[in-house]
Structure 1
Amino acid sequence: MTVMTDSPAPTTNRAPRRRKPLGTRAYKVFRVVALIVVVLFLLAPLFWMLLASLKTNVDIYDTAKALVFSPTFENYANVLQRNNYFVFVVNSFWVAFVSTALSIVLGVPAAYAMSRFTMHRSALVVLMARVIPGVSLLVPWYYVFSNLRMVGKFEVLILSHMFVALPLIVYIMMSYFDSLPLELEESAEVDGLTPIGAFRLITLPLAVSGIATAGILSFIFSWNNFMFALVLSGAKTKTLPVAIFDFVSYASIDWGGLMAAATVVTIPIMIIALFTQKYIVSGLTAGATKG
């Protein structure tokens, strides 16, 4: 007769949880804290600008009303109605749009030629044009355009903005065209397309994100530019950054109106950057994957 005995239940050896190294956890905490500090550092001036635009000049100087105050929209009424800032908004948009469009029309084919035909000397000239500060050319520009009686016209502002926008667009698009495979154009030419046709029908549609990136950055530069417009614009061609300077006088500064005008300038660019950030990121990183 066999005696049945209870056999011990099989034990499963569970592997102990591995704790993350202390260095890894400390790095994550440091990364989060650093990110919060950077975000606060960047957003704090914008937050103060928005609050100041809703205060009177007396409240702005009162530290007790830094966060708790009675908001007023008198500054925005002064900016948008009395000072007719909509005209300056239209001027800024027109100069930025035309200078960006012309720079794209000229810069994209130039960047394609430099990329495909390895025009290193031309690329070096473009790079030097990007390095040279545009402010150093203001005096020669003013002298030349004043003799031509063109100071104060939109054409002068557009040309001056193109001096910076065109090298920027060429520089970005050269890297983008370098990242596109040459075999696509060769296959198109085998199928009967000319080199210009291959560029127009094959390469150009693939470079839309790069063109969007270059165009957005060029538009933002032109919209925010102050020095060129200050020297070369006139009463009828004044742009928003120059119009903001009207709130600064010799005796005093209208901080409320100044902050309201600065908010009017900043909000459109922030909206454009918010809705087009994916194009900016994809275009700027396009050349990094080459090879």
Structure 2
Amino acid sequence: MRTSPGYRIFRIVAIAVLIVVMLMPIFWMVLSSLKNNVQIFDVANAFNFDPSLENYRNVLARSDYVDYIWNSFFVAFMSTAISLVIGVPAAYSMSRFVMRRSALVVLMARIIPGVSLLVPWYYIFSNLRLVGGYSVLILSHMFVALPLIVYIMMGFFDGLPIDLEEAAQVDGLTPIGAFLKVTLPLSVPGLATAAILSFIFSWNNFMFALVLSDAGTKTLPVAIFDFIGYASIDWGGLMAASTVVTLPIMLIALFAQRYVVSGLTAGAVKG
């Protein structure tokens, strides 16, 4: 069925508006990071200014900022890795043995806002003397990452034919061997999707790290608060620090979008 010229024009305009709405905050953030505080509020010369990397030099020159980058990476990597080790076998079991009640519990865990658990978490972990360490941050991030990974991988495993595993077992593999050598390699798009989304959540998380971290385990989103003072805000430094936080995630999403799209749609239709 051929679409009318009017519909094509409407679609192009709608896509253009959506792109502008999505990219404008990022464009403004990067542009502001190249200005000083006076230039940022100079609306008349919003695009006519001499760009400077001084804000980035100030951000990266801080001796502890590299530590914040490491803290964010370590917590995101460990919470994602541990969640994958636990969540992938759990998702496989729920898919192959039709454990719908367990799947319902996982879905409920995804629905519960993590913020609502911050007070009991803080009370429990403070009594265990864990507040301020890496372990409490990793565990709190796993609360969101683990159900997300299980939910994605369940849909992916549902879409893989069980005949491949049965054929592998006929050839002499054990059920675990068939899972490791047949099913798991076929699940790479789903694994990549789950890992990327989990890492992005952990990297961007602010509330958990604000409450449960200390000066030694502070992550990048919390470190951005250092540019907000009682009497003034260093907008240039704030925008530069926000760009430093956002850039790695944007690069990951850009290069891994093929895996994310294929992984999210693989379980939509069963084979």
Residue from 169, 179, 183 that aligns with 1:189: 169
> What are the residue-to-residue correspondences of 1:22-171 with 2, within 5 Å?
24-82=4-62, 84-171=64-151
Give the residue type in structure 1 aligned to 2:171. Answer: D
Residues 27-85 of structure 1: CA deviation (Å, up to 9, x unaligned): 11000000000001111111110110011101111112211111121111111003531
RMSD (CA atoms): 1.2
Q: What is the alpha-carbon distance in structure 2 between the residues aligned to residue 243 and residue 268 of structure 1?
A: 16
Query: Is 1:205 matched up with 2:175?
Result: no
Give the residue type in structure 2 aligned to 1:202. Answer: V
Q: What is the alpha-carbon distance in structure 1 between the residues aligned to residue 116 and residue 85 of structure 2?
A: 26
Residue from 219, 222, 238 that aligns with 1:239: 219
Please list every run of at least 4 consecutive aligned residues from structure 1 whose deviation after the TM superposition is greater than 3 angstroms: none
What corresponds to 1:285 in structure 2?
Answer: 265
Query: Is 1:255 matched up with 2:226?
Result: no
Q: What is the alpha-carbon distance in structure 1 between the residues aligned to residue 197 and residue 135 of structure 2?
A: 21
Please give the TM-score of this superposition, normalised by the length of structure 1. 0.91
Q: What is the alpha-carbon distance in structure 2 between the residues aligned to residue 110 and residue 184 of structure 1?
A: 20
Residue identity (%): 71
Query: Is 1:178 matched up with 2:178?
Result: no
Q: What is the alpha-carbon distance in structure 1 between the residues aligned to residue 48 and residue 73 of structure 2?
A: 36
Give the residue type in structure 2 aligned to 1:190. Answer: V
Which blocks of at least 5 consecutive residues in structure 2 are unaligned? none
User: Considering only CA atoms, is the larger Rg found in Structure 1 or Structure 2?
Assistant: 1
Q: What is the alpha-carbon distance in structure 1 between the residues aligned to residue 4 and residue 203 of structure 2?
A: 43
Residues 222-266 of structure 1: CA deviation (Å, up to 9, x unaligned): 000000000000101000000001111222211101000000001
What corresponds to 1:224 in structure 2?
Answer: 204
> Matched residue pairs, number?
271
Give the residue type in structure 2 aligned to 1:76. Answer: Y
Give the residue type in structure 1 aligned to 2:178. Answer: A
